[in-house]
Structure 1
Amino acid sequence: MSVIGKLVPNVSSRNFSRISAALSSAKSNRTYFTYTQELSQPLDRKPEILTAKEALEKCLKSGQTVFAQGAAATPVPLLNAMTDVGKAGSMKDIKVVHMHTEKEAAYVAPECKDIFRSVSLFMAANVRQSVAEGRSDAIPIFLQDIPKLFHRKIIRPDIALIQVSPPDSHGYCSLGTSVDCVRSALVNSKIIVAQVNPNMPRTFGDAIIHVSHIDYAVHDDSPLPEHGGKPPSAEEAKIGQLIGENLVEDGATLQMGIGSIPDAVLSCLKNHKDLGIHSEMFSVGVIDLVNRGCITNNKKKFHKGRIVGSFMVGNKALYDFVDNNPFVEMLEIDYVNNTHVVSLLPCMTAINSCMEVDITGQVCSDSIGTRMYSGFGGQTDFIRGAAESVDGRGKPIIAIVSNTRRGESKIVPMLKPGAGVVCTRAHVNYVVTEQGIANLFGKTLRQRAYELIKVAHPDHREWLEKEAFARLKCMPAP
């Protein structure tokens, strides 16, 4: 039997027609008595099985707001069908709201500027150009606050486009690799269109959605996008070693994103014990540490013995690892990134990167000058949560290679004009480069400049000292 053929138990055509009519009239004003918002509650209805184009032709209209799931769960065929239907129907003013999405975003092409307007809650490379050219928007927001946009009706999705695993014998699908803000968007969406993909890993926690909440189901078996696997550079490996050997304690709870530096840190933790993971995202590097018994999550007071995440982008090994694995809980982002929750975790060690750091400790992570590049993400959520650690052992860490690929210093006298300050100078404790570790907590401005210049690339230290003197009217000093 096909994936779609197993979507729901048999329902009589008469009963289904009655249910469909009731739901149709209730969709504009759902209440507890007509449609429960709890996505794990089974309903006496089933989705209509259509192609991507048919589904979008049924529900897409001018002036609507469309929410799209992101990261590895980006429903690319649905978004492509949305673009084609919008263009063919000469539609206008459709807002497409999303976090980081994968693959090409056809709806932000110049010829779509009057049809679609992308609104990024965290930008990816596929929309940067359209934001720079004024055809798309970005909302600066902490990751933990994004669900509030939906619950407070600041963003009201008419349609949600998602990707799920096939339903189990009880009719439950999984949001798989991307829970983050998806659940909050779904319970506030009028119509849910789901791409049902056997390649989507089945994850637990807040990822579960009963198939009866889906309005239109579309079969797809495309492989999920993959990232990672590139070996770290010599500089990144050194950063990983410095953090692993000096700042990560046994029993620490780790937060780190995807990329070469997090993977380099993980590769240096093979002799650590009882590590835990509580992170908005995590990468394939955790698998080896789990297999070695280094990651046990046994020191946590809640979610003991389990990895906690909210979304992921990795490779097939990572997707296979999380598939049907109760060791991993995928939870909503307003919980995972909640600063208070983070502060309760044992020896919370938050490792994040950025674009540049100025000599007073201000961190720019979301833009290059005035040009928007990404977003706030979870950096501030975790940096502050680690700093507030109730056990007094938290470590907020900014990790960067000291130079850009062009040989320019990432530690600078002043941030570029228009650069966004994601972490203020008061947020920042540790800054780590391949040159060493700078601890800024409790330091004066000239002490901070001294510490940061020590971990800058040697080629730029004399220049930074001169610029620091010009800015501070005194020499940097320990």
Structure 2
Amino acid sequence: MDTWNRIYEKKKMLPQEIAAQFKTGNICVSNGQVTEPVGILSALAAYATANKITDIYHYILLPLRNQSYMAAGMEKYIRHVSHFVSAFDREAIWQGRADYLPANYSQVPLVWKEILGAPDIFYATVSPMDKHGYFSCGTAADLSDIRKRAKKIFLEVNPTMPRTFGSFIHITEIDGLMENNTPITEVASPPITDDDLKIGGMIADMIPDGATLQLGIGGIPNAVAKALSSKKDLGIHSEMFCDSMVDLYRTGAITNERKKIHPGKSVVTFTFASRGTYDFIDDNPAVEFLPVDYVNDPRIIAQNDNVISINSCMEVDLFGQVCSETMGMMNYSGVGGQVDFIRGAAASKGGKSFLAFKSSAKKGSLSKIKPILTEGSCVSTTRNDVDYLVTEFGVVRLKGMTCSQRAKAIISIAHPAFREELTTAAKKMHLII
């Protein structure tokens, strides 16, 4: 321990000293979400503007804070590139001050390995060093293996970051570190609506005991989890660990005992959640955070039986095409691991995937089921991959259906106020004769 502490003290730096290590044109990568190194980036923003350091590229998946480097005019110094768009970078991307790099989540490390090349700098927020000299990757291990090819590694050590199992960085690997006591970002679960409960209940009825779950973000996945409390021996293999999973642990529904791989363990790649969830995963060997190219690999996912993938989407058309990432031409979120888990579930023995959404928006004035996707919308999940669609008006399984059967089935779960016009449109499109 004394050896590692001596090395720690030698590598400890002030934020501005780390910022001075960056050069014009540096390509930088961070682990995602809560692990973005906010202290380093704040110091870098100040240093770059003062010293005219330009064209630094900062890559991250799903930023969760307003930060000075994202301000208008900062893009010539630090150019933000997102692997998944959030409320904190959406406007900048739309205005051209930042950019979005689309890719299935499982493929992001491969993009770096085979196309983008070795980054100049890898940085992330981590938990405090243990007695063996290891820092835990904390709430995200998604891109952690990219560090192995980076020219320099800088860490931001935060005592409020939970120490999680699965992915660690050793003190001997890094070039410098700083300490930051600012509490990490906490994200409250969205409220569960009556429609969420309807949708969640329908999906839960189709989930067997012993299933392995992947839950996405939002009220609907949380409603599904709420309806699963009486199930037995559920397992978790999911890109995200969420608040509702803690509830299922506490009811005894999650045991992970029937999983074919990693039995007894929940396997995930990131979380952003409440403090209660951070406390649950802290020093908890039952939950492992592993790199995303492993967790989200459909071939790995499919090794478990009865994989149940539950995700949301923004709109669906009568062909069965699904948009989950854009609002028209505007990048709104990202595909994330949706396709990864849909394909993994499809290859799993007994697996099922559900795309769940409310049938209308804007207080019922806008149907989320369209004849064709809104102009400019991107197809996130192709019609060839879609399994089950769910709204508050029912569940339909598109696999095995003809185009005409699909159109009729999709219309049947649309809001009743729009079914007639959707049927008329389907006839004009020669989907219903």
TM-score range, shorter chain: over 0.9
User: Displacement, 1:106?
Assistant: 2.7
1:214 pairs, out of 169, 174, 177, with 174
| Residue-by-residue CA offset, 1:70-107 (whole Å, 9 max, x unaligned) | 21222212111111111111122111111111101432
Secondary structure at the counterpart of residue 84 of structure 2: coil
In structure 2, the residue matched to 1:400 is 357
Secondary structure of the structure 2 residue equivalent to 1:383: helix
CA distance in 2, matches of 1:278, 1:429: 19
SS at match of 2:28: strand
Provide, for residues 163-191 of structure 1, a one-character-per-residue CA deviation record: whole Å limited to 9, x for no partner: 1111111111101000011x222111111
The alignment status of 1:193 with 2:154, answered yes or no, reads yes
Matched, 1:51 2:14: yes
Question: 1: distance between equivalents of 2:243 and 2:3?
Answer: 31
Change (3 A) 1:369 1:274: same
- Conserved? CA contact 1:350–1:395, under 8 Å: yes
Letter in 2 for 1:449: A
SS at match of 1:431: strand
- CA distance in structure 2 between the aligned counterparts of 1:130 and 1:78, rounded to whole angstroms: 21
Q: Structure 2 CA distance, aligned partners of 1:157 and 1:63?
A: 11
Aligned partners of 1:159 and 1:190 also within 8 Å = yes
* SS of 2:361 mapped into structure 1: coil
CA distance in 2, matches of 1:437, 1:256: 18
Q: Determine the structure 2 residue equivalent to 1:458.
A: 416
Q: What is the root-mean-square deviation in Å for CA atoms of aligned residues? A: 1.7
Aligned twin of 2:191 = 231
Of 78, 95, 107 in structure 2, the residue corresponding to residue 145 of structure 1 is 107
What corresponds to 2:382 in structure 1?
424
Deviation at 1:10, TM superposition (A): 3.3
1:185 alignment partner AA:
I
Instruction: Mark the runs of 5 or more structure 2 residues left unpaired by the alignment.
Output: none
How far, CA to CA, are the matches of 1:122 and 1:103 in structure 2? 14
State the distance in 1 between where 2:77 and 2:321 align.
39
Q: Secondary structure at the match of 1:121?
A: strand
Q: Distance in 1 between matches of 2:388 and 2:10?
A: 51
Matched, 1:437 2:395: yes
Equivalent of residue 130 in structure 2, options 168, 172, 193: 168
What is the alpha-carbon distance in structure 2 between the residues aligned to residue 151 and residue 444 of structure 1? 40
Q: CA deviation at 1:450?
A: 0.9
Contact residue 32 and residue 142 of structure 2 kept, 8 A: no
Indicate if the aligned counterparts of 1:257 and 1:352 stay in contact, CA closer than 8 A: yes
- CA distance change for structure 1 residues 230 and 124 in 2, over 3 Å: closer, same or farther? closer
Alpha-carbon separation, structure 2, partners of 1:145 and 1:127: 22
Q: Displacement of 1:327 after TM fit?
A: 0.4
In the alignment, the residues of structure 2 paired with residue 399 and residue 138 of structure 1 have an alpha-carbon distance, to the nearest angstrom, of 25
2: CA distance, partners of 1:216 / 1:6: 18
Measured in 1, the distance between the counterparts of 2:401 and 2:114 equals 40
User: Residues 363-389 of structure 1, C-alpha deviation per residue, up to 9 Å, x if partnerless?
Assistant: 011111111112221000000111121
Q: 2:168, 2:65 → 1: CA distance?
A: 25
Match of 1:270 in 2: 229
Q: Is the 8 A contact 1:228 1:258 kept in 2?
A: no
Q: Which amino acid aligns with 1:332?
A: P
Q: How far apart are the structure 1 equivalents of 2:52 and 2:373? A: 44
Q: Distance in 2 between matches of 1:125 and 1:286?
A: 24
Percent of aligned positions with the same letter in both sequences?
A: 40
Paired residues, number: 432
2 CA distance for matches of 1:222 and 1:244?
39
Shift of 1:47: 5.2
Residue of 2, 8, 15 corresponding to 2:4? 8
3-state DSSP of counterpart to 2:232? coil
Which letter maps to 2:55? D
> Shift in Å at residue 6 of structure 1?
7.9
SS of alignment partner, residue 10 of structure 1: helix
The alpha-carbon distance between structure 1 residues 146 and 235, as it changes in their structure 2 partners (threshold 3 A), is same
Deviation at 1:282, TM superposition (A): 2.0
SS in structure 1 at match of 2:89: helix
Give 1:419 deviation, angstroms: 0.9
The code of the aligned residue for 1:91 comes to I
- Partner AA of 1:382 in structure 2: F
Distance of 1:252 and 1:10 partners within structure 2: 47
Does the 8 A contact of 2:122 with 2:147 survive in 1?
A: yes
**TM-score using structure 2 length:** 0.96
Residue 123 (1) aligns with residue 119 (2): no
Q: Which one-letter code corresponds to 2:381 in the other structure?
A: C
Shift of 1:149: 2.4
Query: In structure 2, what is the Cα distance between the partners aligned to 1:254 and 1:47?
Result: 44
Q: Is the 1:6–1:167 Cα contact (8 Å) retained in structure 2?
A: no
**What is the TM-score of this pair, normalised by structure 1?**
0.87
- Which residue among 174, 178, 184 is the counterpart of 2:145? 184
Structure 1 residues 7 and 364, CA, compared in 2 at 3 Å: closer, same or farther? farther
Which amino acid in 1 is paired with 2:316?
V
Is the CA contact (8 Å cut-off) linking 2:403 and 2:431 kept in structure 1? no
5+ unaligned residues in a row in structure 1: which ranges? 12-44
Q: Confirm whether residue 299 of structure 1 aligns to residue 247 of structure 2.
A: no
TM-superposed deviation, 1:201: 0.6
- Which SS does the other structure have where 1:131 is aligned? helix
Q: How much has 1:415 moved relative to structure 2? A: 0.3
Shift of 1:229: 3.2
Residue 6 to residue 104, structure 1, CA distance change in 2 (3 Å): farther
Q: Deviations over 1:46-78 (max 9, x none)?
A: 752122122112x11111111122212222121
Q: Conserved in 1, the CA contact under 8 Å of 2:407 and 2:432?
A: no
Larger Rg: 1
